[in-house]
Amino acid sequence: MAPVVTGVSPNQGPPGGNTGVTITGSGFTGATLVRFGSTPTNFVLVSDTQITARTPAGTGTVMVTVTAPTGTSTQNVLFTYTTVAAPVLTTLSPASGPTSGGTVVTLSGTNLAGVTSVKFGVNSATVLSNTASQVVVVAPAGLPSSVAVTVTTAGGTSNALVYTYVAAAVPVISGLSPSSGPVSGGNLVTVTGSNLSGAISVKFGNNPATVLSNTATQIVVSAPAGPPSATTVTVTTAGGTSNPLPYFYVAAPTVNDLSAHLGPATGGNTIAVFGSNLTLATAVSFGGNPATAVLVVSDSQLTATAPAGAGTVVVTVTTPGGTSTAATGNPYYTYLAAPVLTGLTPSHGPDLGGDAIVLGGSNLTYTDAVTFGGVPASFAAVSDTQVVATSPGGAPGTVNVVAHTPAGNSNALPYVYDPS
């Protein structure tokens, strides 16, 4: 059976010929002749169903035929010689890129409309957009070398411009900031180094991070979650995988108790904080107000100077692992106003002591000491406005009575010891 021609692509080209075409059909095995009209041309037999050829010079519309020992095709498959001007390239931007390809390249020139192919050497590029003066393509992958870039349209194939494939350098990372973070992930980490452009992945151990921004010297990522342990961070680009740097996943701190849960509204007192995972503490807060003089004693204890405040607040500790919550233990701290005494009833008594003295005033609920001239007295706090104390013995004369709470000492009121 004679060969059958079903198509030719492209089906038009310039009168000067030399357009690369692909002829499809069947029965091509053993083909001896390919003609465009009556003019033969050089060809390559690819398979029984495909032949590639270069058009000879010609005019008008001609039939494409294939001759084999079995005969000559008779199908009316046509090729049209057009008067479309040949494309001309003037610039490539950029004129180089990585061997992995993927670089968006803009080709400028004239007569570029209707592009049928853009070749980087023998490899086809992906066309993104096309006008008469510009073609935007995605460069294919290639070996580290310089190749000819050409554009083919119905008017023929353009002049060649040089594009250079550059072997990507291996990325190097020199710093992580911060170098630790919570096991829940989600914190921003800045990776610095060199040759970091076009990061394919940033991994924390085997877990990929989310890349938020990327330059040749810096990558900002959102860290993935990980177990509380050390891991390594690596960057992979077209140039390979970087050296590793250590990163530490830190468990969140907890606060279980305080050495004192009461203190003056003016602050300034030192409080011991007990919990876990406290070693890397960076801040201690009393209801959102930062404490000062933070000193880590161990992974389960630190001390801090309380700031001024009011009411009952939660004491929290912040580390690279996060900030503690009030979910467990007793991390509550209550600010107290200083005690105030307004009266003693009676205001005098025998020097032998033993009398019940009512101390009136305010902020007395948490009274923890009463003194008569510096001598401790037994007492009972009845309410926030009243304390009943038993006067100790003393020398005849006047002494100062003072009440003390976790907020400090009250003002002093005079008490007179009468001689017995």
Find residue 270's DSSP bridge partners.
305
Domain end marker among 286, 304, 336: 336
Q: What is the pTM of this model?
A: 0.58
Mean pLDDT over residues 138-162, rounded?
92
**pLDDT on residue 419:** 93
pLDDT over 80 (residue 42): yes
- Check pLDDT > 80 for residue 84: no
Question: What local confidence, expressed as pLDDT, does residue 214 receive?
Answer: 96
- Which of the two residues, 1 and 255, has the higher pLDDT score? 255
Q: Is the pLDDT of residue 129 over 90?
A: yes
Question: Does one domain contain both 259 and 246?
Answer: no
* 258 and 332 fall within a common domain: yes
Instruction: Provide the percentage of residues in the chain whose pLDDT is more than 70.
Output: 100
- pLDDT class of 82 with cuts at 50, 70, 90: confident
The structural domain count of the chain equals 5
Given this model, what pLDDT does residue 412 score?
98
Which amino acid, one-letter code, is at 12?
A: Q
Q: What is the pLDDT of residue 180?
A: 94
The pLDDT score that the predictor gives to residue 346 is 98
What does the pLDDT average to over 244-262? 96
Q: Of 45, 75, 47, give the one whose Cα is nearest residue 63.
A: 75
My answer on whether 354 and 319 are in the same domain is: no
Do residues 369 and 407 both lie within one domain? yes
pLDDT confidence bin for 340, thresholds 50/70/90: very high
Domain containing residue 11: 4-81
Cα 250 to Cα 34: distance, rounded to the nearest angstrom: 74
User: Average model confidence (pLDDT) for the chain?
Assistant: 95
* Half-sphere exposure for 383 (CA within 13 Å, toward CB): 6
Residue 267 pLDDT level (bands cut at 50, 70, 90) = very high
Give the burial class of 418: count Cβ atoms within 10 A of its Cβ; 0-12 exposed, 13-18 middle, 19 or more buried.
exposed
* Each residue's pLDDT tens digit, 356-395: 999 999 999 999 999 999 999 999 999 999 999 999 999 9
Tell me if 74 sits within 8 A of 2, measured CB to CB.
yes
Rg (CA), the chain: 45
With 90 as the cut, is the pLDDT of residue 102 above it?
no
pLDDT value of position 93? 94
Q: How many Å apart are CA 119 and CA 152, to the nearest integer? A: 8
Pick the residue with more confidence: 144 or 374? 374
Same domain, 44 and 60: yes
pLDDT band at residue 343 using 50, 70 and 90 as cut-offs: very high
**Residues 53, 76 share a domain:** yes
What is the predicted pLDDT for the residue at 73?
Answer: 96
**81-85, 148-152, 380-384: range with lowest mean pLDDT:** 81-85
Find the mean pLDDT for residues 306-322. Answer: 96
For range 401-410, the mean pLDDT: 96
Q: What pLDDT does 97 receive?
A: 86
Check pLDDT > 90 for residue 278: yes
Residues 157 and 101 both lie in one domain? yes
For residues 140 and 123, is the Cβ–Cβ distance under 8 A?
yes
- Which residue, 146, 166, 186, sits at the end of a domain? 166
Do 17 and 75 lie in a common domain? yes
Say if residue 240's pLDDT is above 90: no
**Same domain, yes or no: 74 and 147:** no
Q: Are residues 99 and 125 in the same domain?
A: yes
pLDDT of residue 218: 98
**pLDDT value of position 272:** 98
Percent of the chain at pLDDT > 90 equals 88
27, 56, 81: which is the final residue of a domain?
A: 81
Is residue 341 predicted with pLDDT exceeding 90? yes
CATH code at position 126 = 2.60.40.10
CB 156 within 8 A of CB 82: no
Does residue 15 register a pLDDT over 90? Answer: no
* Whether 367 and 327 share a structural domain: no
